[in-house]
Amino acid sequence: MEAFKVNVMIFAWSAPAIAVLGLLVALARSVHSPALFPLKVFSAIFTDVFRGVPVILTVYLIGFGIPGLGLPRPWNSPYIWGSVALVLTYSAYVAEIFRSGIESVHKSQRAAALSLGLTEQQAMRDVVLPQAVRNVMPSQMNMLIALQKDVSLLSFIGPVEIFRQAGVFKSLLANFTPYVGAALIFLAITVPATRYADYLMARQNRERQ
């Protein structure tokens, strides 16, 4: 169970960081101002790169690569760089979901907000974004569930989280029961979370009828 706490901890600090970075990237991709075009290009490249590279490869590259540059303690911790790798990868996916949410809000909503004298930023913040976030909430819940599982990938670069701990016990006991135990612990978290995501989705469908 100690090892599972590591999973939860990594999850707990990665998830908010992913939400914030993902939203920022999505907003950068949705800007209308020509002056901010470079930002739009940068965010497009960001999503292309981090969606294009397998998570495990990003975890290796950043989790081993950056501490390998000879950073002093505590900055060479695989906890930090492993989390950074997850944050970067997941932000790219989350950003795309937010962006699809922003685009799903009919453009007449933005026009109505602007026609009342609101600025572009106010129209985005008060009118478009609240609707967009609501529209994509069930999909984002799924990303959270996936993240919870992918924290295990960090076991390959060092942190003793549950998957790795199960591996240790497997070697000690010479059977696969610890893996089954680890799987059950994951299911105990992800099944309720999945059901909650389904519930959100069903509620949204009902509201749209």
Partner 1 sequence: MMYKLQLNNVVKTFGENIICDRINISARSGELVCLIGASGAGKSTLLRCINLLETIDDGEIILDGQDIAEPGLDPQPIRAKVGIVFQSFNLFPHMDAISNVMLAPRRVHKKTRAQLLEEITGLFERFGLKDQMYKYPDQLSGGQQQRVAIVRALAMKPEVMLLDEITSALDPQLVGEVLEVLFTLKDEGMTILMATHEMNFAKKAADKICFLKNGQVLEEGTPDWIFGPDAKQETKSFLSSF
Residues whose CB is less than 8 angstroms from the CB of residue 118 and which lie 6 or more positions away in sequence, other chains included? 126, 127
Question: Helices (H), strands (E): how many in the chain?
Answer: 9, 0
CB-based burial, 107-123: b 16+ in 10 Å, e otherwise = eeebeebeeeebeeeeb
Q: Name which of 138 and 159 has its Cβ closer to partner 1.
A: 138
| CB 101, min distance to partner 1, A | 13
Distance CA 152, CA 106 (A): 39
DSSP three-state, residue 91: helix
Among residues 6, 19, 102, 127, which is the contact residue for partner 1, using CB under 8 A? 127
| CB 205, min distance to partner 1, A | 14
Is residue 171 a contact residue for partner 1 (CB under 8 A)?
no
Among residues 119, 175, 177, 205, which is the contact residue for partner 1, using CB under 8 A? 119
Stretch (H or E) spanning 123: none
Distance CA 165, CA 178 (A): 8
Q: Name which of 33 and 115 has its Cβ closer to partner 1.
A: 115
Is residue 34 a contact residue for partner 1 (CB under 8 A)?
no
Among residues 33, 104, 115, 205, which is the contact residue for partner 1, using CB under 8 A? 115
Is residue 109 a contact residue for partner 1 (CB under 8 A)?
yes
Among residues 76, 131, 190, 194, which is the contact residue for partner 1, using CB under 8 A? 131
Q: Name which of 113 and 153 has its Cβ closer to partner 1.
A: 113
The rounded radius of gyration (Å) of the Cα atoms in the chain is 20
Token pair for 165:
């701990």
Among residues 8, 16, 75, 126, which is the contact residue for partner 1, using CB under 8 A? 126
Binding positions for partner 1, rule: CB under 8 A: 108-109, 111-119, 122, 126-127, 130-131, 134
